[in-house]
Amino acid sequence: MLKVNEIYASIQGESSHTGLPCVFIRLTGCNLRCSWCDTAYAFHDGKNLTLAQTLEQVETFNLPLVEITGGEPLMQEEVYPLMESLLKKGYRVMLETGGSLSIDKVPEKVIKILDIKCPGSGEEKKNHLENLKHLSPHDEIKFVLLDRTDYEWSRSLMQKHDLASFTQVLFSPVYDKLDLKDLSQWILEDQLPVRLQTQLHKVIWSKDAIGV
Ligand code: SF4
């Protein structure tokens, strides 16, 4: 049984798949409490669905791209059969994870968007950096930046682990907190090989909209 907060279709707002129509499966529960979290409604609320019921709902949208997110989707054991079933059905599957739990059992074919939590989140001590060795070139690492301190911390971690040499690196400002122009300027000054992103779904709808 899966505890599911919501299943909906929207425009992918993050990652290098930004702009593509996508079905989102948001699983309930998270083991972190990021200071700027925008999905606290997924900490507890949700209904129990069988794997078959979940797949049935996904199928109604008839889209080839599916993202499993949360919360922290890896907290639920049933997420593994879910990923396997979606792959078997031919979907392109993305997984967004907070980066504190091991991704070693996630199927290689799943596109993993692995967060690395910065100091501004208050959760940087939970980063499970062992995960870096399980990443493939199609996976992505996402830093969500609250301020200049987070930027410098991320730049340094990125350089220490030479992240850009084996995966894509995304720098995303906390929406409405860090100015996109400032972040762009810093990236250009340092010639950092990262992809700037914003949360497109918040630009299209609103920063507080749920289920889009
Ligand atoms: S990992 Fe994601 S869902 Fe969990 S507290 Fe942080 S931002 Fe919120």
Per-residue pLDDT of 107-149, as tens digits, reads 999 999 999 999 999 999 999 999 999 999 999 999 999 999 9
Assess contact for 30 and 16: CB atoms under 8 A.
no
Phi-psi region of 139 (alpha: psi -120 to 50; beta: other; left: phi over 0): beta
Is any atom of ligand 1 closer than 6 Å to the C-beta of 98? Answer: yes
pLDDT of residue 198 exceeding 70, the answer is yes
Is any atom of ligand 1 closer than 6 Å to the C-beta of 99? Answer: no
Is any atom of ligand 1 closer than 6 Å to the C-beta of 31? Answer: no
Which structural domain, as residue segments, surrounds residue 87?
A: 2-204
CA distance 72 to 42: 9
Which H or E run includes 59? helix 51-59
Instruction: Please report whether residue 13 resides in a domain.
Output: yes
Average pLDDT of 91-111? 98
Average pLDDT of 2-29? 95
Q: Of ligand 1's atoms, which has the minimum distance to the CA of residue 99?
A: 1
Is any atom of ligand 1 closer than 6 Å to the C-beta of 6? Answer: no
Instruction: Please report whether residue 106 resides in a domain.
Output: yes
pLDDT of residue 212 exceeding 70, the answer is no
| pLDDT level of residue 164 (50, 70, 90 thresholds) | very high
Confidence at residue 123, expressed as pLDDT on a 0 to 100 scale: 98
Sequence-ordered list of residues with C-beta below 8 angstroms from that of 24, at least 6 positions apart, any chain: 6, 7, 8, 9, 10, 66, 67, 69
Instruction: Please report whether residue 210 resides in a domain.
Output: no
Q: How far is the CA of 88 from the CAs of 50, 94, 137, 180, 182, in angstroms?
A: 17, 14, 21, 39, 43
Instruction: Please report whether residue 211 resides in a domain.
Output: no
Instruction: Please report whether residue 209 resides in a domain.
Output: no
CATH code, domain with 37: 3.20.20.70
> Against a cut of 0.75, is the pTM above it?
yes
pLDDT of residue 168 exceeding 90, the answer is yes
pLDDT of residue 32 exceeding 70, the answer is yes
Token couple for 176: 């409405």
Residue (of 73, 80, 89, 81) closest to 24 by Cα position: 73
Q: Of ligand 1's atoms, which has the minimum distance to the CA of residue 121?
A: 6
Q: Domain count of the chain?
A: 1
Is any atom of ligand 1 closer than 6 Å to the C-beta of 101? Answer: no
Which residue has its alpha carbon closest to ligand 1 atom 5? 33
Instruction: Please report whether residue 58 resides in a domain.
Output: yes
CA distance 179 to 17: 22
